Amino acid sequence: MALMFLPYGKQEIDDDDVAAVVAVLRSDFLTTGPAVERFEAALAETTGAAWAVAVSSGTAALHAACFAAGVTEGDEVIVPAVTFLATASCARFLGAEPIFADVDPNTGLIDPAEVRRRVTPRTRAVIPVHLNGATADLAGVRAVAPGAVIIEDAAHALGGPRAFEDGSMATFSFHPVKHVTTGEGGAVAGDDQEKRARLLTFRNHGMVRAEAALRSASPGPWYYEQQHLGHNLRLSDLHAALGNSQLRKLPRFLARRRTLAARYDRLLAPIDGVEPAAGPTSAYHLYAVQIDFDRFGVTRATVMARLREAGVGTQVHYIPLPMQPYYRDRGWRPEDFPGANHYYGRALSLPLFCGMEDGDVDRVVEGLLLALEIDR
């Protein structure tokens, strides 16, 4: 019998998720309705924040959080050199410049000492990324960038430890490979009420309706003001209903991910040259390993192709941003980021999702050993 192909990540949708979305379709509100409010309340509780604002994607969440942080033209936003494109693009959307800080060569997490080197009077925000679900050193970053707003890119870390100090925020993504999904979706969470107000208007075209916030006296109930540029970044009630249903399962999803990760840890422990990239506090979005491909004399491309043939999907998270043509054109040089280059050169993400069986982990590890030409 042919074995099921194992992608590196995948959603888990049950009948109750389907029923939750169908119920919204039969209701009065497809958007801007009660499912969104419920989702935001549940997210605030899950993340330990005073509030959460749901938006249309993790990218939108980063964009909106930068706006709420006051990021504007000429500002600088420090981001790790190893992350997804969106962590840096959000600064560019507002006319600011992403400034890359090098990362720890073994974990890929932002290095506070490198942040310190990059801080200038124009630094408005720093966006540490909890890569793979491992916890970035927020206290270390805060200590070297005291004037900056901290925006945690927690797309990999829903359910991990959170603390919102000094007006900091965290952003999340609900893309199907993440811990819980809404199809497409995202959110910003935090404690600072002023930032929440800015997020709500930015999500909705910059429209202000509250009497107290108007610049002119209201002539009647239709009145609104655009006080700054905004966008339509709203999440629909269909998406939010799926999110509500999924969020209830987060504890089970996290427990399953940790169990699978522990099994990988155990099976890989005896293999010199293959090290797990994430520490024990990880919320395990990805099961990322660092492989010394040179030592095995096999390229990563070959290993990935062999695994694919064996029915195992893998991915590389991520190509360092200074390597991207867009940022080379803006003057960045990849050779200035030895930590990022080391991490990237050895990175491979193995399949990790809740629907995996224990035996699937064994199958992935067997396939990896064969692909690396390791005899046991």
Ligand X SMILES: *Cc1c(COP(=O)(O)O)cnc(C)c1O
φ/ψ of residue 234, rounded to 5? -70, 150
Task: Spell out the residues 6+ positions from residue 170 whose beta carbon is closer than 8 angstroms to its own.
Answer: 47, 49, 151, 152, 153, 154, 162, 164, 188, 189, 190
Query: Which of the ranges 54-62, 236-244, 321-329, 342-350 carries the binding residues for ligand X, by CB under 6 A?
Result: 54-62
Q: Which of 59, 282, 290, 349 binds ligand X (CB under 6 A)?
A: 59
CB-closest chain residue to ligand X: 58
Residues in 280-339 that interact with ligand X by CB under 6 A: none
> Is 195 marked active-site?
no
Q: Which of 10, 118, 175, 248 binds ligand X (CB under 6 A)?
A: 175
Q: Which of 57, 236, 246, 290 binds ligand X (CB under 6 A)?
A: 57
Contact between 182 and ligand X by CB under 6 A: the answer reads no
| Residue closer to ligand X (CB basis): 53 or 208 | 53
Question: Least distance from C-beta 156 to ligand X, angstroms?
Answer: 6
Q: Which of 80, 98, 133, 186 binds ligand X (CB under 6 A)?
A: 186
Alpha carbons 294 and 326: distance in angstroms, whole number: 29
| Residue closer to ligand X (CB basis): 90 or 208 | 90
Distances (CA, A) of 317 to 10, 94, 157, 232: 16, 26, 15, 29
- Give how many residues touch ligand X by CB under 6 A: 14
Query: Which of the ranges 151-159, 192-200, 271-279, 347-355 carries the binding residues for ligand X, by CB under 6 A?
Result: 151-159
* Cβ atoms of 188 and 61 closer than 8 Å: yes
Contact between 365 and ligand X by CB under 6 A: the answer reads no
Contact between 107 and ligand X by CB under 6 A: the answer reads no
Alpha carbons 88 and 101: distance in angstroms, whole number: 11
Q: Which two tokens stand for residue 19?
A: 């029923």
Q: Which of 58, 112, 128, 190 binds ligand X (CB under 6 A)?
A: 58
| Residue closer to ligand X (CB basis): 99 or 274 | 99
| Residue closer to ligand X (CB basis): 246 or 371 | 246
Task: Spell out the residues 6+ positions from residue 240 whose beta carbon is closer than 8 angstroms to its own.
Answer: 24, 35, 36, 38, 39, 54, 182, 185
Contact between 153 and ligand X by CB under 6 A: the answer reads yes
Q: Which of 129, 170, 347, 348 binds ligand X (CB under 6 A)?
A: 129
Question: Least distance from C-beta 161 to ligand X, angstroms?
Answer: 17
Question: Least distance from C-beta 231 to ligand X, angstroms?
Answer: 14
Active-site position among 10, 178, 195, 249 = 178
* Cβ atoms of 260 and 352 closer than 8 Å: yes
Catalytic residues: 178
Under the rule (CB under 6 A), what is the footprint of ligand X? 57-59, 83-84, 86-87, 129, 153, 155-156, 173, 175, 186
